[in-house]
């Protein structure tokens, strides 16, 4: 039997024919990178290929690397294998990777979502024979509300806190979630302050997207400056000494995991907003159908449940182990974002 076009080995998702890895978890010679989150773009590869909008992001995170930026839909050939990147709608510069060789087409989704967040280029289905999909939220209870409703709730929460003379502290990842929140905060309510990790990342992304004005919290920032305003902070800032300056404050987390009963209490936040940069259950099924693929490989998330369901629907579906983490559960996220504090 011929070797499949993409295989999963100890270093990552490997195209043997091209000698290229997709989002490798150990250092390799040549890596195609779907997006800038730490579990997909790791340090130590000799050469990186990624969407051009992701170039400034991974340079910020990984330092002095050799990286080539590509446009969406731009074909490039490595050792007779044709690659191209297609919008994944997950965060700015996020891509799916299409791999074609001798008429066979595979697509690796990386992380993705279908809802247009107004920041990243919206997801585009790509026809393929085999689709490698994440399934972070691949069980039926996950069903997202339209983002307009979520942002309305967030702004209402902020306005109420302001009336009570409190500072609102809203947690979200420094890359992706924080900018999505920032984009839709209602600046008629008050000022937006930021934690350093979020300020630095947003500064880089301001070259690509328009965001409201933010003020970095520094040593000089006074408690009275913050009162009634909103602070955007990475989850790792929760419980840190940094946050004490904000007293009296109320906290909230914006994450897909907030759909779980008890999630807010476990994370010791006052309020939870269900907002994810990943697909919910229905979106996953819609996306898979739209690729026309018969073979599905589920990587991270509820892989077993999800692939079993797909098999029941007639797909040739299986799971593969990866080191991708999906939407990191904030409880365990401290170590993940520490490098950015
Ligand atoms: Zn991601």
CATH number at residue 16: 3.60.15.10
Q: Quote the ligand 1 centre to 6 CA distance (angstroms).
A: 21
Q: Quote the ligand 1 centre to 198 CA distance (angstroms).
A: 16
Which of these ranges, 28-37, 65-74, 234-243, 286-295, has the smallest mean pLDDT?
A: 234-243
Q: Quote the ligand 1 centre to 76 CA distance (angstroms).
A: 24
Q: Quote the ligand 1 centre to 326 CA distance (angstroms).
A: 6
**Are 241 and 95 found together in one domain?**
no
Q: Quote the ligand 1 centre to 325 CA distance (angstroms).
A: 8
Q: Quote the ligand 1 centre to 138 CA distance (angstroms).
A: 15
Q: Is the pLDDT of residue 340 over 90?
A: no
**pLDDT band per the 50, 70, 90 thresholds, residue 328:** low
pLDDT of amino acid 240: 85
**Are 115 and 189 found together in one domain?**
no
Number of domains in the chain: 2
**Are 46 and 21 found together in one domain?**
yes
Last residue of a domain, one of 228, 258, 273: 273
Report the pLDDT averaged over residues 44-66.
97
Q: Quote the ligand 1 centre to 337 CA distance (angstroms).
A: 13
Q: Quote the ligand 1 centre to 267 CA distance (angstroms).
A: 21
pLDDT of amino acid 241: 87
Report the pLDDT averaged over residues 167-196.
97
In a domain, 100, yes or no: yes
pLDDT of amino acid 322: 86
Q: Quote the ligand 1 centre to 177 CA distance (angstroms).
A: 10
CATH of the domain at 169: 3.40.50.10890
Q: Quote the ligand 1 centre to 227 CA distance (angstroms).
A: 33
**Are 132 and 162 found together in one domain?**
no
**Are 154 and 124 found together in one domain?**
no
Q: Quote the ligand 1 centre to 38 CA distance (angstroms).
A: 8
Q: Quote the ligand 1 centre to 34 CA distance (angstroms).
A: 9
Q: What is the pTM of this model?
A: 0.93
pLDDT of amino acid 1: 61
**Are 134 and 11 found together in one domain?**
yes
Last residue of a domain, one of 257, 273, 289: 273
Report the pLDDT averaged over residues 241-258.
91
Q: Quote the ligand 1 centre to 224 CA distance (angstroms).
A: 36
Report the pLDDT averaged over residues 254-264.
84
Q: Quote the ligand 1 centre to 155 CA distance (angstroms).
A: 25
Q: Is the pLDDT of residue 321 over 90?
A: no
β-bridge mates for residue 133, sequence order? 298
Q: Quote the ligand 1 centre to 89 CA distance (angstroms).
A: 10
Report the pLDDT averaged over residues 116-139.
96
pLDDT of amino acid 203: 97
- With a pLDDT cut of 70, the percent of the chain lying above it is 95
Which of these ranges, 97-106, 139-148, 329-338, has the smallest mean pLDDT?
A: 329-338
In a domain, 340, yes or no: no
Q: Quote the ligand 1 centre to 2 CA distance (angstroms).
A: 32
Report the pLDDT averaged over residues 10-28.
97
Q: Quote the ligand 1 centre to 136 CA distance (angstroms).
A: 10
**Are 259 and 293 found together in one domain?**
no
- CB atoms within 5 A of ion ligand 1 belong to 37, 111
Cα–Cα dist 226/191, whole Å: 8
Report the pLDDT averaged over residues 63-73.
97
**pLDDT band per the 50, 70, 90 thresholds, residue 182:** very high
Q: Would you state the structure tokens that stand for residue 34, as one six-digit string? A: 């779907």
**8 A C-beta contact, residue 315 and residue 295:** yes
223 lies in which domain range? 147-273
**Are 289 and 210 found together in one domain?**
no
Top-confidence residue, 332 or 108: 108
Mean pLDDT estimate for the chain? 92
- With a pLDDT cut of 90, the percent of the chain lying above it is 84
Beta-carbon contacts of residue 39 (< 8 Å; ≥ 6 apart): 25, 323, 324, 325, 328
Last residue of a domain, one of 226, 244, 273: 273
Q: Quote the ligand 1 centre to 278 CA distance (angstroms).
A: 8
**pLDDT band per the 50, 70, 90 thresholds, residue 332:** very low
> Smallest Cα–Cα separation from 191: which of 152, 225, 239?
225
Tell me the pLDDT tens digit for each residue of 101-119. 999 999 999 999 999 999 9
| Most confident among 101-105, 244-248, 268-272 (mean pLDDT) | 101-105
Q: Is the pLDDT of residue 299 over 80?
A: yes
Q: Quote the ligand 1 centre to 261 CA distance (angstroms).
A: 24
Q: Quote the ligand 1 centre to 260 CA distance (angstroms).
A: 20
Q: Quote the ligand 1 centre to 221 CA distance (angstroms).
A: 32
**Are 70 and 128 found together in one domain?**
yes
Which of these ranges, 25-39, 43-57, 144-158, 320-334, has the smallest mean pLDDT?
A: 320-334
């Amino acid at each position: 039997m011929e070797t499949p076009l993409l295989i999963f080995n100890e270093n990552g998702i490997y195209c043997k024919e091209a000698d290229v890895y997709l989002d490798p978890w150990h250092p390799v010679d040549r890596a195609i990178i779907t997006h800038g989150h730490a579990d997909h773009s790791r340090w130590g590869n000799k050469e990186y290929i990624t969407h051009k909008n992701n170039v400034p992001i991974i340079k910020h995170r990984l330092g002095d690397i050799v990286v080539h930026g590509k446009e969406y839909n731009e074909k490039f050939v490595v050792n007779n294998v044709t690659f191209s990147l297609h919008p994944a709608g997950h965060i700015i510069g996020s891509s799916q990777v299409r791999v074609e060789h001798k008429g066979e087409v595979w697509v690796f989704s990386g992380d993705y979502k279908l809802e247009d967040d107004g920041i990243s280029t919206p997801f585009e289905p790509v026809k393929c024979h085999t689709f490698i999909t994440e399934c972070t939220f691949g069980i039926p209870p996950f069903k997202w509300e339209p983002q307009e409703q979520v942002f309305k709730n967030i702004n209402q929460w902020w306005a109420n806190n302001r009336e009570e003379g409190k500072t609102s502290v809203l947690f979200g990842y420094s890359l992706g979630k924080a900018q999505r929140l920032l984009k839709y905060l209602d600046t008629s309510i008050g000022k937006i302050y930021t934690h350093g990790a979020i300020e630095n990342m947003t500064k880089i992304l301001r070259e690509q997207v328009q965001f409201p004005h933010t003020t970095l919290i520094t040593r000089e920032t006074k408690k009275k400056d913050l009162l009634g305003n909103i602070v955007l902070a990475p989850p790792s800032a929760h419980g840190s000494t940094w946050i004490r300056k904000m007293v009296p404050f109320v906290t909230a987390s914006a994450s897909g995991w907030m759909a779980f009963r008890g999630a807010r209490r476990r994370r010791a936040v006052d309020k939870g907003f269900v907002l994810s940069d990943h697909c919910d259950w229905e979106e996953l099924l819609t996306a898979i159908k739209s690729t026309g693929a018969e073979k599905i490989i589920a990587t991270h998330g509820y892989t077993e449940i999800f692939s079993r369901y797909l098999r029941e629907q007639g797909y040739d579906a299986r799971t593969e182990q990866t080191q991708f983490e999906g939407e990191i559960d904030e409880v365990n996220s401290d170590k993940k974002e520490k490098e950015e504090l």
